Structure 1
């Protein structure tokens, strides 16, 4: 909704600039940010950590230190990237101070540790409420900006303030959850010898970070690529299509977040049959939901884009349809990725991301000059199709353990 309001208020040109500013920040953040909640949840599932509040506190401190350091580095990178890429992506000099403003939100966006705490305690509803609160706050502020006919500076400030408040609330809830679990505050834990206390943690974190970075080049930096080839207006249309399609993708991300801790426990306890069953059912459910969304968009999408954004944004509709095809494939692959991480196969996830990213850029660099912005959508489809096929083959073969071994293995694990 905030995207609709911003586009309506600013128009294609200024909205395209807003999209570029937000994209520079998000790319910088995700290139450097460790998704520390993934290794935190995996290591927290180990019995010697799960049953020791002091070690659990140390583990959370490890993740928190990674979060803080990478957030600060990402803020610096945001400013540097804005000034370096401005000419290439057609970002005007007047927009560069706005990039610095948004970098403040990047600097305080510490999320990995509190996310892990909430997910370990199964507070998925709380996670959803926090995200909803930030979205509502942004919508309310955007409506005020619309009523006052404010400019681009106001919308950048709104996005920055909303993200800062969201991060502060997230961290408060994360620390409160640890307190309720009788886990001492990570701020009082010993930071000495953390790598030796949790061997393999950094390696797992680096693998997931590299995988996330490669996904960032395709899922966030693509807007910058579109702007470089087709201009900021086309980047704005493309950004709108991606924001709408992301609503569907978030369904898969939320379900993945809910089931990942259970999948990690199932694999650790050698419950292979249940592990395969839950992964396969989730894949089918997400694929079916994605196809339903694609059909609805095909029937009503053009009309809704015109009503919501105005006829001047009509070019976003074909981009939206193409993007949804890629999103369906990614939704289907989301449980596979969780399964592989639970099986301690981050290197395969990383290798798949490397090949998929290379395929994305080959298709994008061929298609963008010939077809315009929709060429980036074609690249997304190629990326998603390869990812889904590769991960499906790997998790299914890797989890296909003879069922006769499950009961003794589970008994030994207990």
Structure 2
């Protein structure tokens, strides 16, 4: 995967992207590729150990809890990076510590809320998505992982410190543990409950390691321990932080509805087996989506700094070149999927899942649009326009659900995949127009001005 980053540079020229960005993206891609492969191994073990229907139940429980978590949690890393980039220039380490405490408090409150909410609402809504009351206990088991998932503040700390190698590889021990537990469950012929315990244990370990490395990054950067900072008057001292966080989290919630609730929708309208097929296709397509996600992770802090320095020309050039590179990678992945996608699926999880092949191709088409939109979203957040991002995603989400409700009853999982393409294309186009128009209305103030006649 580091070779992918080098390929971007060789294809688009030495000026396409700074070397340190390529190296960071390469590490993130390598780490996430390894993590995704390990995840696919564990998912493949579960798919082979369980019947297609029981595997579908397993997927629906995971998806239900993750959906509640992502609706309830705060993505505090986004406002933290935006506000911290301004405090860094002033060198105010005390306020940086308090700012990270603010984010951490939001993360903890959101995690506790999500864990409790998943259990409380399971009895009301789980039957609507294909989970009977008999599976209530399974939801409670996996909710333990949600309670420990405090990742917003450490994500911001690691990204601001440039610790992308740590972000890339710290998740691997949890994935290896998950495979070990999954093999044990398979060997002893255990059921869905045991697989969910394995997934929850691995998630708790990964979250604990990630939080530890986040605090270590702050310490290395000279930022005092946030746990020792004063929590008094945080909202007053950081005006606009909570509204920025609320806007970005609402937009993330909208995206979650298309990335998690879609599986539940397939389960409710087409049954657990179709939901299992759909989940596998999404998991495989996510291997390609990681390229765009990690490019955004690396570039967003620098985009925020470029906007703070009002270097519009550099921001425009960086975003356009990255979009071009990501589009080329996405098309290459699509061609590979068309040629060998179905063979790969049957080899990985068995011939019972051959129907996943066409779903994979449709998912990758939507991923290409998502990859293209990732840099656009970062620019808009850097410009302080989370409300616009929210509006775009809200309209796109409405479009997705309209398409899904019309298509799933007739096409099953493929209907949801086509609705994903509609959503992703709509969001990519609107965000692209928005950030280019925003930069055009704000000419680069550092450009030299003519003082004499032309």
| Conserved 8 A contact 1:367-1:375 | yes
String of CA shifts for 1:163-217, please: whole Å, max 9, x gaps.
1001111111111111111211111111111011000000000000100011111
- What is the match of residue 244 of structure 1? 284
State which of 121, 140, 146 in structure 1 corresponds to 2:186: 146
- What is the match of residue 132 of structure 1? 172
Specify the SS of the correspondent of 1:91: coil
- Structure 1's unaligned 5+ residue stretches are 410-414
CA distance in 1, matches of 2:391, 2:259: 17
- What is the match of residue 37 of structure 1? 77
CA distance in 2, matches of 1:404, 1:203: 27
| Conserved 8 A contact 1:111-1:171 | yes
String of CA shifts for 1:296-340, please: whole Å, max 9, x gaps.
011001111111111111111111111111111001110000010
CA distance in 1, matches of 2:120, 2:267: 18
The question of 1:13 aligning with 2:75 is answered: no
| Structure-to-structure mapping, 1:361-376, within 5 angstroms | 361-376=401-416
The question of 1:181 aligning with 2:250 is answered: no
Which shifted more, 309-318 or 57-66?
Answer: 309-318
State which of 369, 373, 376 in structure 2 corresponds to 1:333: 373
Name the TM-score, length of structure 2 as normaliser.
0.88
State which of 85, 91, 97 in structure 1 corresponds to 2:131: 91
CA distance in 2, matches of 1:312, 1:391: 39
The question of 1:352 aligning with 2:392 is answered: yes
- What is the match of residue 412 of structure 1? none
| Structure-to-structure mapping, 1:281-300, within 5 angstroms | 281-300=321-340
Specify the SS of the correspondent of 2:51: helix
| Conserved 8 A contact 2:129-2:268 | yes
CA distance in 1, matches of 2:46, 2:199: 11
Specify the SS of the correspondent of 1:241: helix
| Conserved 8 A contact 1:49-1:56 | no
| Structure-to-structure mapping, 1:139-288, within 5 angstroms | 139-288=179-328
The question of 1:342 aligning with 2:382 is answered: yes
After TM superposition, give the deviation of residue 149 of structure 1 in Å. Answer: 2.7
| Conserved 8 A contact 2:87-2:95 | no
| Conserved 8 A contact 2:142-2:196 | yes
| Conserved 8 A contact 1:121-1:177 | yes
After TM superposition, give the deviation of residue 360 of structure 1 in Å. Answer: 0.6
Specify the SS of the correspondent of 2:384: coil
Name the TM-score, length of structure 1 as normaliser.
0.96
CA distance in 2, matches of 1:190, 1:64: 13
- Structure 2's unaligned 5+ residue stretches are 1-40, 450-454
- What is the match of residue 44 of structure 2? 4
Aligned CA distance change for structure 1 residues 331 and 262 (closer, same or farther; 3 Å): same
Specify the SS of the correspondent of 2:181: helix
RMSD value over aligned CA atoms? 1.5
* Stretches of 4+ aligned residues off by more than 6 angstroms: none
CA distance in 2, matches of 1:120, 1:404: 25
- What is the match of residue 426 of structure 2? 386
Which shifted more, 124-133 or 382-391?
Answer: 124-133
Number of aligned residue pairs: give it: 409
CA distance in 2, matches of 1:317, 1:339: 34
